[in-house]
């Protein structure tokens, strides 16, 4: 649309490593963790990235926050928000979906975007899913042997979904030891842009060492920080805020207009 200014979220990248982290519970800050503003909830970088993917997929479908809450609580119960390569019988992935039961191939159900989409497909078919008791709705999709187990994670799911979908600054912050830059900057930028487009659904522009993401607001910025370690980011800026893996969010008081950030070189 002519004349429409769209704020840009730009991501600074250090290396192209796009594999899932395997941090354990209780890791020290140097190894990486993510926190929610005003909450004692602490996640590993892997958990935060997976949670952000769930929220992004739900949001891209135009579903209300309740859908994200239910999906997060379900994934927490099934896998502790980890993309597992094992499970009961042939269960795999975030939601422990079984290929033998028609959820998809092993590779598909271990793809967090696909797995979340399949869960949401089932969720919206449950009558009264948006008003029903969380564990009953989740059980209608999952058909678990422990139908009451999902309810214990409703508060966590609510807290996390509100942070990931918040329209206010710095709702979630992550820390980790910043990586060294490695590999051609153009290849690293292209790899990150692919992930951004697939998960956040936002157009990207690459110009030399810059990845600019057309962002509609803070949910995209929060998504980037939650994925920062997975994508090996060294900086995220949005409006007049800047995030780094060692300093967290800082309000700079300087709006860069188009909010362009440069890739680490």
Q: State pLDDT tens for residues 81-98.
A: 999 988 788 889 999 999
Instruction: Name the residue among 3, 52, 31, 40 with its Cα closest to residue 236.
Output: 52
Contact 192, 199 (CB under 8 A): no
Tens of pLDDT along 38-62? 999 999 999 999 999 999 999 999 9
The DSSP output letter for 145 is S
- Of the pLDDT bands very low, low, confident and very high (cuts 50, 70, 90), residue 17 is very low
Stretch among 22-36, 94-108, 162-176, 218-232 having the lowest mean pLDDT: 22-36
Report the predicted TM-score, pTM, of the whole model to 2 decimal places.
0.87
214 φ/ψ sector (left φ>0, alpha ψ -120 to 50, else beta): beta
pLDDT score of 112 more than 50: yes
* End-to-end Cα, the chain, rounded Å: 34
The number of angstroms, rounded, from the C-alpha of 1 to the middle of its chain's C-alpha atoms is: 29
């Amino acid at each position: 649309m002519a004349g429409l200014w769209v704020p840009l979220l730009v991501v600074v990248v250090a290396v192209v490593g796009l594999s899932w982290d395997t941090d354990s519970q209780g890791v020290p800050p140097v190894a990486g963790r993510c926190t929610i503003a005003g909450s004692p909830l602490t996640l590993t970088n892997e958990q935060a990235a997976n949670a952000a993917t769930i929220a992004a997929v739900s949001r891209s479908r135009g579903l209300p926050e309740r859908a994200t809450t239910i999906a997060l609580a379900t994934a927490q119960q099934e896998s502790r928000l980890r993309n597992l390569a094992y499970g009961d019988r042939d269960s795999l992935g975030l939601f422990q979906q079984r290929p033998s039961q028609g959820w998809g191939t092993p590779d598909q159900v271990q793809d967090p975007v696909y797995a979340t989409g399949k869960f949401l497909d089932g969720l919206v078919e449950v009558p009264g899913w948006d008003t029903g008791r969380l564990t009953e709705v989740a059980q209608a999709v999952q058909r678990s042997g422990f139908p009451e187990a999902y309810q214990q994670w409703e508060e966590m799911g609510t807290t996390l979904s509100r942070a990931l979908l918040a329209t206010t600054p710095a709702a979630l912050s992550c820390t980790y030891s910043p990586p060294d830059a490695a590999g051609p900057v153009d290849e690293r930028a292209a790899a990150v842009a692919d992930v951004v487009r697939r998960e956040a659904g936002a157009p990207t522009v690459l110009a030399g060492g810059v990845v600019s993401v057309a962002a509609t607001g803070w949910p995209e910025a929060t998504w980037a920080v939650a994925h920062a370690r997975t994508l090996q980011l060294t900086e995220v800026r949005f409006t007049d805020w800047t995030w780094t893996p060692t300093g967290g969010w800082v309000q700079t008081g300087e709006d860069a207009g188009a909010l362009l950030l440069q890739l680490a070189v």
